[in-house]
Amino acid sequence: MRTQVAIIGGGPSGLLLSQLLHRKGIDTVVLERKTRDYVLGRIRAGILETGFVNLMREAGVADRMDKECFVHDGTVISHGDTQFTIDFKDLTDTSVVVYGQTEVTRDLYDAREAMDGTVIFNAENVQIHGADSDAPHVTYTTDGDEHRIDCDFVAGCDGFHGVSRQTIPLTVRREYEKLYPFGWLGILSETPPVHDELIYSCSSRGFALCSMRNENLSRYYIQCSLSDSPDDWSDDAFWQELKRRIPSEYADKLVTGPSIEKSIAPLRSFVTEPMRWGRLFLCGDAAHIVPPTGAKGLNTAASDIHYLYNGLIQHYLDGDDTGIDTYSEKALARIWKAERFSWWMTNLLHRFPDQSEFDLKMQAADIAFLRDNRAAQTVLAQNYVGLPY
């Protein structure tokens, strides 16, 4: 098989790149290790920056999102039983959108099918060859048979555990990582959201987040120990702990119900440099991870796709390689700012096991300063709604 761009990974970033390029007449093949149903069964984030929303519109896959999404003009931050609102619309004249990653992925799969895009599922033993040459190719197996795709470029959108990053030699890449000493226990429940905006809560018992997917589907998180298992937490135990960590006015009206999904996610910050090696480009989780506190995971992947998509357009339509030559530099400049914001939000709102009384006073002072200072709120809002590409 021959294509112009081989895309490793059939999640939202790989599908979005494929859809965008297809609409410009550039041929792609997407390789996905799992089945479509498996990919759509993964529960992920749902806060979309304006830049991501605009990419979905440019890709021609925004109709359902525009009809069903929740537009959020702000968020609530609480410390103990006090709370205040960060008004995105007032501070930045911009909002964010709540639309689940599963729905984004579903819309992109439907669009690829409608355009006869090539997505190969159950692609195992994927290997990237000759990435540092002028003639890269990708091999994979399906049903025990080996296949080969010759291509001009390879986009590695296959996540933290994928093959793409590992293809870049250790002598070339450098990795930066911070592991946090806690995780997030999250549940999904068919209950109405407790509030029409997200609630980020810093309490003496640990962090909590109240989020949602739609008017009858809520997503809640509490900070937990890394040694915990979802089986350690009954639904009742989760609801009781969540109520203890959010302001009483919300705890009193929280609608509870059976969880339809329950999982624990460890928190880490991770970046690999560079994000390009020869004709291989890393995108999304293949190159960087952020703790979910700042809602940047999917959105940082979207910014990568923006830079790579425009670079490939310049290459194929204008014969100009400036975009692909500067891809890693541009992507990383924005990534490190998103990493900083997510790291800062995580430190602002969580309880760390080694925090001293002094540390707790500094955390409280930081939150109080944010509450009382419009300039500080503006900085948070600018980062939350998304820095410009």
Give the whole-angstrom CA distance, residue 166 versus residue 242.
39
Q: What is the 3-state secondary structure (H, E, C) of 254-268?
A: CCCCCEEEEEEEEEE
Question: Who's near 38: CB < 8 A, 6+ residues apart?
Answer: none
- In sequence order, the β-bridge partners of residue 140 are 147
Residue 361 is a catalytic residue: no
Give the Å distances, CA to CA, from 191 to 48, 101, 152, 213: 22, 19, 48, 10
The closest of 5, 9, 7 to 39, measured between CA atoms, is 9
Catalytic residue among 109, 221, 309, 384: 384
Give the CA dihedral 159, 165, 170, 171, nearest 10 degrees. -140
Of 99, 109, 140, 200, which residue is the catalytic one? 200
72 is catalytic: yes
3-state secondary structure of 97: strand
Active site residue 195: no
The answer to whether 137 is a known catalytic residue is: no
Q: What's the start-to-end Cα distance of the chain, in Å?
A: 34
What are phi and psi for residue 276, nearest 5 degrees? -135, 135
What lies within 8 Å, CB to CB, of 144 at 6+ separation is none
How many whole angstroms separate alpha carbon 240 and alpha carbon 204? 15
22 in catalytic set: no
Q: Which of 79, 137, 296, 330 is catalytic?
A: 296
String of DSSP letters for 273-339: E-SEETTEEE-GGGTEE--GGGS-HHHHHHHHHHHHHHHHHIIIII---HHHHTHHHHHHHHHHHHH
Of residues 22, 72, 79, 350, which has the active-site annotation?
Answer: 72
Encoded amino acid at 223, one letter? Q
Residues in the chain: 389
Active-site choice (292, 316, 327, 350): 292
Catalytic positions, written as ranges:
72, 200, 292, 296, 384
